[in-house]
Amino acid sequence: MSTFCRALLLVVFLLSGCGGGSSHPATLVSVSVLPTAPSLAPGTTLQLYASAQYSDGSAVDVTSTANWSSGTSSVATVNQGLATGVAAGQSLITASLGTLSSVPVTLTVSPLQSIDITPVTPGVLVAGSRLQFSATGHLGNGTTQNLTSQVSWQSSNTGVATIAAGGMATGVGAGPTQISGSFGGVTGGPVSLTVATLQSISVSPATWTALSGDQQQFSATGLLSNGDTPDLTTLVTWSSTPSTVASISNVAGSRGRATAAAGGSASVTASYNGVLSTPAAVTVQGPSSITVTPVTPSAVSGTTLQFTATGSFDNNADRDVTAVATWTSSVPSAASFNNVSGPRGLASIGSSGTTFVRATLGSVSDETTLSVKALRSLAITPSPATVPRGTSAPLTLTGTFSDSSTEDLTSSATWVSGTPSIAQVGNAPETKGTVLGVANGTATITATVGTLSTKVTVLVQTVVPTTPADKAYLVSSGLNALQVLDTSTNQITGTPITVGTAPQGVALNTSTNKAYVTNSGSGTVSVVDLTTNTTVKTIPVRNAPWGIALAPSTSRAYVANKFSGNLSVINTDTDSVVATIPVGTSPEGVAANASGSRIYVANSGSNTVSVINGSNLVIATIPTTLSASGPNNIALNGNFAYVTCSNSNNVLVINTSTNTVTGTISAGSNPQGIAIDSAANRAYVANNGSNTVSVLNTSTNTPAGTISVSGGPMAVAVRPSTGRYYVVNNSGSTVTVFNTSNNGLVAGAQTAAGPVAIAVLP
């Protein structure tokens, strides 16, 4: 978040707290500083963070706007949260807003003893490519400090590789070099790095035959001077000639993905550092005809209308070719298209009249007649409207035209709330006209289309929800459904709730009676109403959504998108995506603390854990040690995060106050799921490869037992109120229930095919 945005948010909250010009109901309650026990070496810096907590349970990052002070400036100074170590000792650090000050945290300045450089065995670097090194300092008081941006980096042979401030190494020429980092007379390393030059590139598949609209992921493999053959798919530059037959992406997340367009032949090549691959041959069969829909539609001036082109092929197959067709309008003043950067087939509607809309793909085309109508009046229903506080409800906008016809214009209007502190209204494509009740009272909602507008009064009032009791919810990847387990009888009950394709994760929001299910195959999140057991909304996210965590205090859900390497942030009041945060490679597991001020993401592909604050900023990236790899799930317990690592068969322990790894705990083979019973100081780990559940003592961070199960345990959930934990077994399609007091088997039940996740009501 920018300094301006932080300052603006702070002004809004402070005005509400003192009865000023804002109608925001929240008042400032407290200020806190993180981390709570920071340490750093003399001469180094460490960023501290200040968080403001408000009466409505929300928290705001006020690091740059708080007043900071150091009790002993001869030991450490602090400016906008950036602490600088001066000399060994301790100092009390405080952040304040107005008359409210944080509880002081003790900052320790301790001498730097040693420096670790990672990766220790970096492998072979391709000349021209880059590799990030990290430096971790070990201090005299036993703590560690990330010194990556503060050490002086050296390469023993700059003709082989250079390394810049910040630890980014660049391969220059073939050969070995030594990488080291030093600070204050202490040197870490050296680490041996070998650079090899690229000799050739091969592209796979070598041939591709496709229909228009098909997509194909190409891969590039390099041959290096030392004989290695690394995957260069994301490193090379891709090209397709001619691009009218097939295009290929160079965008992160889809690099190397080709799309077949018009019929004909094309060549796909990959290049890097002057090395060009042998071309791959592409043959595209174009459609014999295309059909444009909707047929003879009408539209309103000032709105948009999506057209679709469907291609018919010689093998009697039909295919959506909207995205590869070229769209034109005979009267651009009535409707126009953007075939370069805009969504293909999306018409921008202009002045009233008639135009012919044409889609062309290669030698075939089709057209339809579009009538642009004059809008006479608007009406919103229901009127007046009532929305329970903390929930959302849709409004519908109906337009009446000059020919007396009517049309639903909800998605075409611009929506505005006169009092957003009471009722907010959505304007994103997926939330148009949806009203969120924020606080009790009335608000005026206005809908505008072109020069016409209309209003409706919305009443927001408190409704006490009825929360289902004694229920657990299981995700079935084989059935594409959510199943309900009655935890009083330990039996599956009711009809499976249909969700998206290949669901992977589930999280429950008991305050709104909703479940959120990630669907890896369809790139969506299903919102399920737990009072009716129906899917009420589908939220588009990114590629292969996997794990999900909720932060009810901030009305946020965090979704790890495995194949796109980022995190989708969902506002659970409006059930819409409000941010996308880049993280590591192949993120799977995600966890959020109770205040929503810290979110942790397990990145299985890059062997890291990303730490994100409540302002959607990545504030730390924690590398897993050599003895822990494949982090895939994560659970929080006080000041510690427990991360299952499927490749190394253990659980990584992270101190969340310092964002440092404190150790590992042995688990079974291929650990996948983890759940924690904080009151009992126990963690339960589902080991898919060894058909066991590992019981861990979280007070000593040691193994406390192993329970045999069957059928490939994949996930586990704990219900401390009844002393039970629940294990879903993927290959066996069962759920088994155990007693937390003695780990005894209580019950078992058959589920639908392929259960992969479970969440249980408190």
Give per-residue pLDDT as tens, 184-242: 999 999 999 999 999 999 999 999 999 999 999 999 999 999 999 999 999 999 999 99
Domain 198-285 has CATH 2.60.40.1080: yes
Average pLDDT score over residue span 467-477: 85
Say yes or no to pLDDT of 1 above 60: no
Say yes or no to pLDDT of 368 above 90: yes
Smallest CA-to-CA distance from 328 within 319, 320, 338 is with 338
Q: What residues contact residue 370 under an 8 Å CB cut-off, 6+ apart?
A: 296, 297, 298, 299, 305, 329, 334, 335, 347, 354, 355, 356, 357
Give dist(CA 52, CA 306) in Å, integer: 44
The rounded Cα 157 to chain-centroid distance in angstroms is 40
Residue 302 confidence (pLDDT): 78
Domains 375-461 and 471-760 share a fold: no
Reduced to 3 DSSP states, what percent helix, strand and coil does the chain have, rounded to the nearest 5? 5, 55, 40
Residue 18 confidence (pLDDT): 33
Q: Is 343 exposed, middle or buried (0-12, 13-18, 19+ CB in 10 A)?
A: exposed
Residues in the chain, total:
762
Give dist(CA 657, CA 32) in Å, integer: 13
Smallest CA-to-CA distance from 237 within 223, 245, 248 is with 248
Give dist(CA 650, CA 642) in Å, integer: 10
Q: Collapsing DSSP states into helix, strand and coil, what is residue 333? A: coil
Torsion of CA 262, 544, 518, 644, to 10 degrees: 170
- DSSP secondary-structure letter at 286? P
Take residue 388 and report the two structure tokens written for it: 């329970």
Take residue 528 and report the two structure tokens written for it: 């399920």
Give per-residue pLDDT as tens, 308-365: 999 999 877 788 899 999 999 999 999 999 998 878 999 999 888 899 999 999 999 9
Give per-residue pLDDT as tens, 667-676: 999 999 999 9
pLDDT band at 467 (very low <50, low <70, confident <90, very high): low
Using alpha carbons only, what angle is made at residue 744 by residues 637 and 694, rounded to the nearest 5 degrees?
A: 45
HSE, CB side, 13 Å, CA atoms: give it for residue 88. 7
Give dist(CA 421, CA 444) in Å, integer: 12
Residue 7 confidence (pLDDT): 36
Most confident of 350-354, 400-404, 636-640: 636-640
Take residue 753 and report the two structure tokens written for it: 């095919």
Give per-residue pLDDT as tens, 20-79: 333 334 688 889 999 989 999 999 999 999 998 887 667 788 999 999 999 999 999 999
Average pLDDT score over residue span 83-108: 95
Domain 471-760 has CATH 2.130.10.10: yes
Amino acid at 397: L
Residue 468 confidence (pLDDT): 62
Give dist(CA 61, CA 83) in Å, integer: 17
Least confident of 134-138, 318-322, 546-550: 318-322
Torsion of CA 19, 25, 29, 33, to 10 degrees: -110
Task: Give the sign of the dihedral formed by CA 251, CA 254, CA 255, CA 258.
Answer: negative
**Domain ranges for the chain:** 3-109, 112-196, 198-285, 290-372, 375-461, 471-760
Cα–Cα separations (whole angstroms), residue 559 to 200, 519, 636: 39, 10, 16
Answer yes or no: are the C-beta atoms of 599 and 590 closer than 8 Å.
yes
- 290-372: what fold? Immunoglobulin-like (2.60.40)
Using alpha carbons only, what angle is made at residue 396 by residues 390 and 400, rounded to the nearest 5 degrees?
A: 160
CATH class of 3-109: mainly beta
Give dist(CA 640, CA 663) in Å, integer: 11
Domain 375-461 has CATH 1.10.510.10: no
* Mean pLDDT (the chain, rounded): 90
Residue 77 confidence (pLDDT): 98
Could you tell me which CATH number the domain at 112-196 has?
2.60.40.1080
